[in-house]
Structure 1
Amino acid sequence: MAYSLTSNNKKEIEKELLPLIRVYKDGSVERLIESPIVPPSLQDPQTNVSSKDIIISNNNPSLSARIFLPYSHKHNNKKLPIFLYFHGGAFCVESAFSSLYHNYLNILVSESNIIAVSVDYRLLPHHPLPAAYEDGWISLQWLASHTSNEINNNNKEQWLLDYGDFNKVYIGGDTNGANLAHNIAMRAGTETLPNNLKIFGVLLCSPFFWGSKSIGLEALEDNERHGLAIKVWNFVYPNAKGGIDNHMVNPCADDAPNLATLGCSKMLVTVTDKDEFRDRDLLYYDSVRKSGWQGQLELFEAGDEEHGFQIFNHQTHTAKNFIKRLASFLV
């Protein structure tokens, strides 16, 4: 992973969000933490998972994705669950094509026996929120379009048509990708998707939620992490009504939409002990549980681990068990 905080002294900085991104007044951008882009593979040597890059939308906006297909499709006549995935990176770094998420999804797809579509949604600074939320909804609409009998739609993906089970569509992600998935699920609870597609499950790994009032261990800290979370939100969505208490980042705010309207049948929320979002995510889980939502709600506590550990170091025993738990949900 690339990691550099050295600025170019010849350029004048307009704004920055350390240690993630720096924007210069000449319009150039440095993404300071980002793994390299890697190509797809017709058969990954470690997992036998095949992948290819696809187009979701050609314009307004232009959206692409990487789709992953497990080796099991060759000897299994049963249709496979579909997982629409949104990567992490604070809405401003990483991509669906980066080595970090390519490798992670190869492992998850192999373990889960699912088809995954990793969306390359638009990033900051050129595309502040709500661009990524719009991209997520467009991606879900595109997925739903595959259930139509129209034969003239050239934008359909053959792997989904041949092997996908559209009765088992999942959405999810990690950190801000999980935040994105939550907001899409809320929208799906009030808006109808093409051909009345339903989201079967939502997987939220350490979702990025926050608020203006400290809760739990936040109140015992020096507010450095609390301040960083607010800086991230203000950077990625500077015009959000209500700031850090906007319901997109604080779904437990007093004026947030009722969580009982979540548009899915089941949900898994995961937390780790060393994650700064832990208390927020537990509050979210408890709020969904008390909301009157009629779905199946699950919580998985991964123990004494850092934020995103299963992505950064997926070969450890704990990470392997974590991924197995995710796989048991994606069925």
Structure 2
Amino acid sequence: MATTTTTEKVVVKELLPLIRVYSDGSVDRLLSSPNVAATLEDPDTGVSSKDIVISDEPSLSARIFLPKNPHNKLPILVYFHGGAFCVESAFSFYVHRYLNILASQANIIAISVDYRLLPHHPLPAAYHDGWTALQWIASHAANAAANPEPWLLNHADFSKLYVGGDTNGANIAHNVLMRAGTETLNGDLKVLGGLLCCPFFWGSKPIGSEPAEEHPESLAMRVWRFVYPDATDGIDNPSVNPCAPGAPSLATLACSKLLVTITGKDEFRDRDILYHDTVKNSGWNSQLQLFDAGDEPHAFQMFKPETHLAKAMIKRLAEFLV
């Protein structure tokens, strides 16, 4: 009589409260909102969206958003979602709703990049995906796109290109802007602005209000060890600690204006103020702005966009994206 054996599914790695990885390769993304379909004329904003392919190798997709009745050429925002490099996606509910609102209020084309996530794609995969997406957009300006997107060709003003994101997505945006400072985009296209909302930066030594006793096992520290385990200098790698001794000068940021937003209850607040001040003192000779959105946690405008402070923040972002 044949016997059957069952392989027990066991947890091999986890980063609570975000993600759990099992022995059979399956993953529970514990904090992701559900994916939603793209829409033709969203009933609340009138914004249309569709899913597009940026690259087959590596496999890279995005969701593009277009405001209703675009009569003039529109600014472009290349957007990277938050989620600690391991949850959420370009197609998830919170990201979709937020970019509908932002594209409508700012009257921009938004491209939400579905960069590769942990655990199957540790950093620097997401950084490479950010650069691939930006080069693909630049290829449209140079009339050299291998898989051209009509919404970009017909409606985009390539002289008004922005790169931005929330939390770890803002970290990706920063790293893409730093790379653009040393490498050339297709057709020598220039980035006009950077939009960093509560960016994920950290370091080995606590600063400001960061509690010293909790610092070694803070969530930020645990996230970085999980997503980039072989990073040179660990948590002081310039990718996550751009203010570390010996990090490349922030004067090389490749944009003409930069907006950094902070909130009162964000654990990254002091880091983000330090980042702003380091840019200011670096010799970077462009428009630098810091916006305090109020006594809220980071990314609050995505989760509760109907609140007074969220509306005020989104309005401020829209005013920047011109």
Q: Which runs of 5+ in 2 are unaligned?
A: 1-6
CA distance in 2, matches of 1:225, 1:17: 15
| Map of 1:185 onto structure 2 | 177
Structure 1 residue identity aligned to 2:46: N
CA distance in 2, matches of 1:51, 1:12: 39
SS in 1 for 2:110: strand
TM-score after normalising by structure 1: 0.93
Matched, 1:214 2:206: yes
Deviation at 1:267, TM superposition (A): 0.3
Q: Please, which of 218, 221, 243 is the counterpart of residue 227 of structure 1?
A: 218
CA distance in 1, matches of 2:86, 2:207: 26
Deviation at 1:72, TM superposition (A): 3.8
| Map of 1:89 onto structure 2 | 83
CA distance in 2, matches of 1:121, 1:158: 22
Structure 2 residue identity aligned to 1:236: V
Q: Please, which of 167, 177, 188 is the counterpart of residue 175 of structure 1?
A: 167
Q: Is the CA contact 2:53–2:60 (under 8 Å) kept in the aligned structure 1?
A: yes
- Identity value in percent: 67
Q: Please, which of 54, 62, 66 is the counterpart of residue 65 of structure 1?
A: 62
Q: Please, which of 238, 263, 271 is the counterpart of residue 247 of structure 1?
A: 238
Structure 2 residue identity aligned to 1:176: N
CA distance in 2, matches of 1:99, 1:296: 33
CA distance in 2, matches of 1:35, 1:69: 23
SS in 1 for 2:264: coil
**What pairs with 1:116-135 in structure 2 (closer than 5 Å)?**
116-135=110-129
**What pairs with 1:216-295 in structure 2 (closer than 5 Å)?**
216-219=208-211, 222-223=213-214, 227-295=218-286
| 1:26-51 alpha-carbon deviations (Å, 9 max, x no partner) | 21111111111110011100000000
Structure 2 residue identity aligned to 1:216: G
SS in 2 for 1:135: helix
| Map of 1:4 onto structure 2 | none
Q: Is the CA contact 2:215–2:221 (under 8 Å) kept in the aligned structure 1?
A: no
| Map of 1:160 onto structure 2 | 152
Q: Which runs of 5+ in 1 are unaligned?
A: 1-8
| 1:187-239 alpha-carbon deviations (Å, 9 max, x no partner) | 101111110000000000000000001100014x6416862211100000001
Structure 1 runs of 4+ off > 6 angstroms?
none
CA distance in 1, matches of 2:265, 2:220: 15
Structure 2 residue identity aligned to 1:47: T
Q: Is the CA contact 1:218–1:226 (under 8 Å) kept in the aligned structure 2?
A: no
CA distance in 2, matches of 1:230, 1:10: 31
Deviation at 1:11, TM superposition (A): 2.0
| 1:84-108 alpha-carbon deviations (Å, 9 max, x no partner) | 0000000000000001100000000
Matched, 1:52 2:47: no
* Residues 216 and 94 of structure 1: CA distance in aligned 2, closer, same or farther (over 3 Å): same
SS in 2 for 1:57: strand
SS in 2 for 1:26: coil
TM-score after normalising by structure 2: 0.96
Q: Please, which of 294, 301, 312 is the counterpart of residue 303 of structure 1?
A: 294
| Map of 1:148 onto structure 2 | 142
Deviation at 1:306, TM superposition (A): 1.2
Structure 2 residue identity aligned to 1:177: G
